[in-house]
């Protein structure tokens, strides 16, 4: 299969979407990103990497980091996290407070902001440094030791993160945080504000394509745990547009408001596409279009 040509064709589909979305401006540090940017990378389970466009240009990973924090919690602490966070689609915006009240501080899934705060809290307890644990994992799997948190983005998120603070305090009021709210928020912003490229993320997501095995051959998760993360990615990874993403792309995927979408083709490859313009649900218009074009052209999906 000519992956390089397929990625070029996918990029053409993405370019056709320019102007159909809006760059995330509620985090001021992200508002100045070039809206026309686009990159895409594919990393096979054998270690080959292909890319087009701005595939080696770092961008703010934002919520894409949530899948890595969840994987590390499962690797360190088993499946006890599922007593504190659910596995169901929310049907509401990723930063909604609505369900927390009716569901007594148990977030609907680990990929909305409330759920990711609980996962970050657990990772902080297990490792002592949640943000650094995610950074070190991404550095190791991508082979990029320079990968790091962008302090300006982290500071911007903290300054304007009133809703995340409200979510964290509400969760804490129900006894579902073990650590201090401000510390949990600091680590949450620390891993969301990591800057990484499509190449970095495609390589780092390879453990899910390899059914839980890291790039060096060491097992991070059991095959069953990797399957379950992929399942929650498919149903919850693109916020309240997960059904549309499954319909169009047909792969487990996690998006972030920095414009990245990381998708997994179990047993074969992991892909990352990036385009800063977002749709109403917070997903990259260009990245979803590119992934749609790729799976349509190849017939490769989980269905």
Q: What is the pTM of this model?
A: 0.96
Residue holding tokens 């051959």? 217
Across the chain, mean pLDDT equals 95
What pLDDT digit, counting tens, does each position of 267-299 carry?
999 999 999 999 999 999 999 999 999 999 999
Residue-level pLDDT at 275: 98
Residue-level pLDDT at 30: 87
What pLDDT digit, counting tens, does each position of 249-267 carry?
999 999 999 999 999 999 9
Q: What is the mean pLDDT of residues 99-112?
A: 89
The yes-or-no verdict on residue 78 having pLDDT over 90 is no
What does the DSSP assignment read for 45-82?
A: TTS-EEEEESTTS-EE-GGGHHHHHHHHHHHHHGGGGG
Q: Which of 191, 204, 184, 183 is nearest to 148 (CA)?
A: 191
Residue-level pLDDT at 184: 98
What pLDDT digit, counting tens, does each position of 152-180 carry?
999 999 999 999 999 999 999 999 999 99
What pLDDT digit, counting tens, does each position of 42-63 carry?
999 999 999 999 999 999 999 9
Burial 20-46 (b: 16+ CB within 10 A, else e): ebebbeebebbeebebebbbbbbbbbe
Catalytic residue set? 63, 66, 188, 239, 257
């Amino acid at each position: 299969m000519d992956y390089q040509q397929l990625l070029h064709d996918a990029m053409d589909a993405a370019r056709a979407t320019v102007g159909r979305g809006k760059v995330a401006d509620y985090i001021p540090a992200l508002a100045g990103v070039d809206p026309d940017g686009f990159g895409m990378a594919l990393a096979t389970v054998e270690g080959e990497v292909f890319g087009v466009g701005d595939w080696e240009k770092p961008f703010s990973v934002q919520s894409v980091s949530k899948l890595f924090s969840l994987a590390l919690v499962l690797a360190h602490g088993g499946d006890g996290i599922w007593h504190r966070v659910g596995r169901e689609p929310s049907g509401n915006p990723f930063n909604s407070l609505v369900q927390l009240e009716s569901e007594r501080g148990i977030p609907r899934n680990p990929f909305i902001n409330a759920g990711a705060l609980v996962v970050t809290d657990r990772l902080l307890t297990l490792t002592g440094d949640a943000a650094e644990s995610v950074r070190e994992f991404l550095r190791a799997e991508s082979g990029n030791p320079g990968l790091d948190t962008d302090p300006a983005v982290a500071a911007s998120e903290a300054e304007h993160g009133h809703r995340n603070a409200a979510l964290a305090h509400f969760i804490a009021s129900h006894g579902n945080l073990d650590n201090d709210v401000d510390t949990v928020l600091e680590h949450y912003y620390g891993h969301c504000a990591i800057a990484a490229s499509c190449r970095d993320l495609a390589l780092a997501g390879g453990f899910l394509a390899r059914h839980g095995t890291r790039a060096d051959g060491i097992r991070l998760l059991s095959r069953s745990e990797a399957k379950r993360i992929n399942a929650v990615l498919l149903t919850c990874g693109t916020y309240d547009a997960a059904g549309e993403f499954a319909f169009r792309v047909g792969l487990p995927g996690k998006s972030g408001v920095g414009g990245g979408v990381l998708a997994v083709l179990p047993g074969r490859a992991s892909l990352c596409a990036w385009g800063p313009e977002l749709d109403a649900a917070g997903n990259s218009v260009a990245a979803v279009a590119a992934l749609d074009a790729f799976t349509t052209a190849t017939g490769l999906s989980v269905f």
